[in-house]
Every structure is written in structure tokens, then in C-alpha cells.
């Protein structure tokens, strides 16, 4: 009876997800299999294009690098926050969440001001005499990665703080009382128990980076085109909705595959994690 009550309570939310999320995605993907050239013609065309393959590889590469950097920065920051006193912890959490209060476009424009040839960074380096002429930092993979790390690190921090706070302090003290050094305690106790948060954070950052549009468009332009900008170009510039749907389908499949791989990795690293 309790099981049916749970399903009954969840059915309205489930119906909304199916109607407004699942069905539109399935309808978009279905259009790619109904072209006159054949059910897989659009995918053959996509993977047969060297330019589109390059964009796909670049998008995966940038997303993985962003995820790796965000994991390191986010974990270190979350560990410090979780070990801070109560009043300081609140201040640090507010500081971590503060960038989320502004829009993605606004934060991306901020990096245009920082990384531009006449921007803050180049001006500082010139005034210090470290460079003789401004660097060209915009419209590069580095600019896109830096901006994306800035965008998604707060999500990683918020995900990991809760996980690290839930680790019983008794386990840490027991490890120390048994003679384990701080590094051994961290590697054998803290890190394995933090695996669920690391996986969730990595999935959030990767999917956000992989599907991002505004940041690559503003900081990468045509030189560093990614899948999101390519899809927008196909849909809104060339009005090739079938090609745009094909790109969307490829992105959905790759995102699901990455999530499954990360889940398997979590189970391998810690069978109790997932």
C-alpha cells in the first residue's frame, strides 16, 4: 500500500517531466530518422564532416578539462569550507554562491573585460613591465575553459560541502588514533566517502560545459566553436532544423554515455558510493 501511495504522490511530477521534457526530446530525435535520404543519413552526414567531428572532439575536450579543473578547485575549497567554524563557514558558502546570483551572460562579459587586449589582465601585465605588448587571450580554448571553470566551480563546491560535512568526525578521529597520518586518513577515509559528491559534481559540470552556448559564443566565437554554438548556427542562421536536431541527439547520447561511465567508475572506486 505504501508503495502505491508513493507512486500516486509522484505521478503528477512524473507526468509533467514526461510531457514537457521527455516527449519534446524524443520528438526532436525522431525527426532525424524521417528524412527522405534514409533513417541514418543525417548521422552519416554529421560524422562524415571533418569540421563537425572537430567541433565534437573540441567540445568533449574542453568539457573534460573544465570538469577536471573544477573537481580539484571545488574539492579543495569544499574541504576547507566543511572544516571551517560555523560563522566562517556561512561567510565562505555565501562567497561561493554569490557568482550564481548573476546571469551567465553577465559573467561571461566580465571575462571579456578581463581577458581583452585592453582588458584588466593585459593592462596589469603591461604596467608591471612583464610583457611588451598585449596578449591575444580572447577567442581561444583557454579563455573558454577559464570562464567555464568560473561558472561551474560554485556548483561543485555546493555539491561537495554537504557530502564532506556528512562524513562522521568519529571516523577521522578513529583513523588518527590508530596511527594513520593525515594524508593516509584523507586518501583512505575522506576521499572514498566523498566519491558520490565527486561523481554528482562532475556530472553537473560536464553536462553544463558540454551543452553551454553563451560562454563559448562570447569568448570562443567562430574560432572555438562548440556543439551548442554549432547547433544554434544550424537552427537560427541556416535554418537547417534537421541538422540541429541531429546535433542535439548526438549531445544527448554522449551526455548519457558520460553519466553511465562516471556511475560505473564510482562503483568501481567505492561499491557503497552509488
In a domain, 129, yes or no: yes
**CATH number, domain at 200?**
1.10.3720.10
In a domain, 274, yes or no: no
In a domain, 74, yes or no: yes
Question: Domain check: are 10 and 102 in the same one?
Answer: no
Question: Domain check: are 116 and 82 in the same one?
Answer: yes
In a domain, 10, yes or no: yes
Domain that holds residue 27: 1-31
- Which pLDDT score is estimated for 273? 44
Question: Domain check: are 80 and 164 in the same one?
Answer: yes
SS3 138: coil
Question: Domain check: are 117 and 235 in the same one?
Answer: yes
In a domain, 36, yes or no: no
Domain count across the chain:
2
- Which pLDDT score is estimated for 209? 93
Whether the model pTM is above 0.75: yes
In a domain, 119, yes or no: yes
41-48 and 50-82 are packed helices; what angle lies between their axes, rounded to 10 degrees?
80
Judge whether residue 271 has pLDDT over 50. Answer: no
| pLDDT confidence tier of residue 272, bands split at 50, 70 and 90 | very low
- Which of 186, 203, 197 lies closest to 256 in space, CA to CA? 203
Higher pLDDT, 129 or 266: 129
Q: What is the largest CA-CA distance in the chain?
A: 75
Question: Domain check: are 80 and 6 in the same one?
Answer: no
Question: Domain check: are 93 and 23 in the same one?
Answer: no
Question: Domain check: are 201 and 224 in the same one?
Answer: yes
pLDDT in tens, 241-256: 889 999 999 999 998 8
Amino acid at each position: 500500500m505504501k508503495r502505491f501511495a508513493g507512486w500516486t504522490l509522484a505521478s503528477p511530477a512524473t507526468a509533467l517531466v514526461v510531457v514537457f521534457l521527455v516527449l519534446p526530446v524524443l520528438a526532436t530525435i525522431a525527426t532525424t530518422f524521417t528524412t527522405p535520404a534514409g533513417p541514418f543519413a543525417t548521422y552519416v552526414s554529421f560524422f562524415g564532416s571533418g569540421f563537425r567531428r572537430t567541433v565534437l572532439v573540441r567540445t568533449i575536450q574542453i568539457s573534460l578539462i573544465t570538469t577536471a579543473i573544477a573537481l580539484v578547485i571545488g574539492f579543495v575549497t569544499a574541504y576547507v569550507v566543511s572544516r571551517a567554524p560555523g560563522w566562517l563557514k556561512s561567510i565562505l558558502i555565501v562567497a561561493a554562491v554569490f557568482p550564481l546570483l548573476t546571469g551567465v551572460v553577465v559573467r561571461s562579459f566580465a571575462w571579456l573585460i578581463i581577458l581583452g587586449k585592453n582588458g584588466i589582465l593585459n593592462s596589469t601585465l603591461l604596467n608591471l613591465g612583464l610583457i611588451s605588448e598585449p596578449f591575444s587571450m580572447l577567442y581561444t580554448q583557454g579563455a573558454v575553459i577559464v570562464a567555464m571553470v568560473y561558472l561551474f566551480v560554485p556548483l561543485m563546491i555546493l555539491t561537495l560541502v554537504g557530502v564532506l560535512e556528512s562524513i562522521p568526525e568519529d571516523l577521522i578521529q578513529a583513523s588518527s588514533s590508530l596511527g594513520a597520518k593525515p594524508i593516509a586518513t584523507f586518501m583512505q577515509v575522506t576521499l572514498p566517502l566523498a566519491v558520490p559528491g565527486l561523481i554528482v559534481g562532475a556530472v553537473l559540470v560536464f553536462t553544463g560545459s558540454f551543452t553551454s552556448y553563451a560562454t563559448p559564443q562570447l569568448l570562443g566565437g567562430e574560432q572555438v566553436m562548440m556543439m551548442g554554438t554549432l547547433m544554434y548556427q544550424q537552427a537560427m542562421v541556416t535554418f537547417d532544423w534537421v541538422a540541429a536536431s541531429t546535433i542535439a541527439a548526438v549531445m544527448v547520447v554522449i551526455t548519457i554515455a558520460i553519466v553511465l561511465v562516471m556511475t560505473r567508475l564510482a562503483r568501481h572506486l567505492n561499491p557503497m558510493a552509488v
